Structure 1
Amino acid sequence: MPLRLSALALDSRDPVLRARFWGALLPREVVRERTTALLPGTERQVGLRFVPGDAPAPEPARVHLHVTSTSEEQRDVLVTTALDLGGRHLDVGQLPEERHIVLADPEGAAFCVIEPENSFLAGCGPLGELACDGTREVGVFWSRALNWPLVWDSDGETAVQSPAGGTKVAWGGPPVAPKHGRSRQRLELVADDLAGEVERLVADGAVRLGTLPGGAVELADPDGNEFVVADEDYWAAGSSRSNAGA
């Protein structure tokens, strides 16, 4: 099988608390691991893994989540649920006529509850999008890396999506703020042929950063964003190593 996107790892002061918040919103079961908490994904929905990360991030997050709604009522329920679980409203300069609602989760990470009439995320499922800061180059890189088609490519903005549909991963295009320090979020990928996939990714523009305990390989994409590739056994072991080096 080709390289597969398993989860987005998010550094968290309290992984379990944060996982419970997101598990209630999406909704998904929270799977407790040794020091992490996982919301497993599916063929159509990207998983979320919350890993220990106590130090404040040195830069704004490069990835934020878009949660979809199918009706005005459901959107209001999602917002109320988020607020009841420790979220809060967040002002990022959104205009009054914009119908998505910007919130922060219990650790202050911004996310959006998307209006039901949004056509771009229609049919994408509860976790509609990983909205990323990034160049067109990195969108093209990930399209090739995952063998996912570019479903959007305009004015430097790109998006990819599994052939099965579901969660989109999108990049907003330039200008992209300079990266300082380690990202607080990292993609986690599964490879059946780890050495071969790492070689392919490096040939296509990734930089190998090192080998982690347990045999996983950490790389950076063309925009410098860290990600981890490992075999199925590594992730099945419930490893907390996805935040290695943080």
Structure 2
Amino acid sequence: MALEWEQVNVDATDPAALGRWWAEALGWVVVGDAPDEFEIRPEKDRLPGLIFAPVPEAKVVKNRLHLDFRPDDQEAEVARLLALGARHADVGQSGDEPWVVLADPEGNEFCVLGPRRG
């Protein structure tokens, strides 16, 4: 048996707005824009994607799952994401980690990693 990773599901109070934010942040394309789900992918026929589904409640606690991104230039990427509407997030990090924790406009945490070592 083989499994193919199709997508990550993200609960959202405004799926279209959050999906568009992530599409801009990642440079991805919108492949589905229905009232009950908004889907983006790296390219139209490339997986995995992110799908945003409506929920009535706002996020309350730290995510149990989050995405990590490794940019070419961490400082520039953090600045770009903050300008798009991300914000710094505190999930209990000590402050001397080589990554930066941010949150998207609905509060979902993600990490912007530093340079790969070795």
Output the TM-score relative to the length of structure 1: 0.42
Give the match for residue 86 of structure 1. Answer: 85
C-alpha distance in 2, partners of 1:8/1:118? Answer: 27
- The amino acid across from 2:93 in the alignment is Q
Given that 2:29 and 2:42 are in contact with CA atoms closer than 8 Å, whether structure 1 keeps it comes out as: no
In structure 1, the residue corresponding to 2:5 is in which secondary structure?
strand
For structure 1, which segment, 8-17 or 36-45, has the greater mean C-alpha deviation from structure 2 after superposition? Answer: 36-45
Choose from 65, 87, 95 the match for 2:67: 65
Give the match for residue 41 of structure 2. Answer: 40
Q: Structure 2 vs 1, CA of residues 93 and 27 (structure 1 numbering), >3 Å: closer, same or farther? A: same
Given that 1:41 and 1:48 are in contact with CA atoms closer than 8 Å, whether structure 2 keeps it comes out as: no
In structure 1, the residue corresponding to 2:115 is in which secondary structure?
coil
Where does structure 1 lack aligned partners over 5 or more consecutive residues?
Answer: 120-246
Query: Cα deviation per residue 1:15-36 (whole Å; 9 max; x = unaligned)?
Result: 1221122122222112342122
Give the match for residue 202 of structure 1. Answer: none
Give the match for residue 53 of structure 1. Answer: 55
How many aligned residue pairs are there?
Answer: 116
In structure 2, the residue corresponding to 1:30 is in which secondary structure?
strand
Deviating 4+ runs (over 3 angstroms): 41-45, 56-60
C-alpha distance in 2, partners of 1:76/1:69? Answer: 9
- The amino acid across from 1:10 in the alignment is V
In structure 2, the residue corresponding to 1:5 is in which secondary structure?
coil
Identity %: 34
- The amino acid across from 2:58 in the alignment is P
Query: Cα deviation per residue 1:130-176 (whole Å; 9 max; x = unaligned)?
Result: xxxxxxxxxxxxxxxxxxxxxxxxxxxxxxxxxxxxxxxxxxxxxxx
Where does structure 2 lack aligned partners over 5 or more consecutive residues?
Answer: none
Output the TM-score relative to the length of structure 2: 0.80
1:79 Cα deviation from its structure 2 partner: 1.2
Given that 1:29 and 1:39 are in contact with CA atoms closer than 8 Å, whether structure 2 keeps it comes out as: yes
Give the match for residue 103 of structure 1. Answer: 102
Given that 1:16 and 1:32 are in contact with CA atoms closer than 8 Å, whether structure 2 keeps it comes out as: no
